[in-house]
Amino acid sequence: MPNQDDAQALERARQDQRQGKAPTTQAGEFIREEMQHIREGKHGARSPQQAIAIGLSKARRAGVDLPPPGKGKASARTRASAKREYQRGQESPGLHEADPKRSRAAIGALKREGRSAASPAALSDQASQAAARRSPAERSAAARKASATKGPAKRSAAAQKAARSRARDN
């Protein structure tokens, strides 16, 4: 039976979808859940990227409309796996029962990994590296799109936070 954490992540992702947020934002709920699992000690991960990949995989299987990466963006093996998960999620969205033997093996392997992949420093480094791979125009467009779905209260809070960051950095 799928666990309660995943069910809550799915509900939050569906709420994001109703609010018109991007599929990547919806998938972020599953990634957040994976980071929480690592912090709680349920399992570990070799790197933040591995934890993110696990979350994206769960999101695709749950029916989030997140197409697999294109050619040149990921290895053939990763693209094939993502394609399989995406198709499964599109055919029957929602949480699925995992094969117990396979699930046990995967969790056993993850339990042997470290917990530092979900540390604030590791996630900060990952975010900086991801942002550096995008052009200023792409980052700006993403920020504009995000502000459109935030709502007035969150927009105001974000503006105040940005002003504090500018004041601190200048």
Q: What is the pLDDT along the chain (170 residues), one digit of tens a residue?
A: 457 778 888 899 999 999 888 899 999 999 999 999 999 999 999 999 999 999 999 999 999 999 999 999 899 999 999 999 999 988 887 776 777 887 888 888 888 888 999 999 999 999 999 999 999 999 999 888 888 878 889 889 989 999 999 999 87
The CA distance from 29 to 8, in Å, is 9
- HSE toward the beta carbon, residue 83, CA cutoff 13 A: 9
pTM of model > 0.85: no
Rounded to 5 degrees, φ, ψ at 64 are: -65, 135
Contact predicate 138/55, CB 8 Å: no
Nearest to 60 by CA among 78, 37, 38, 41: 78
For every residue of 14-30, DSSP letters joined together read HHHHHTT--HHHHHHHH
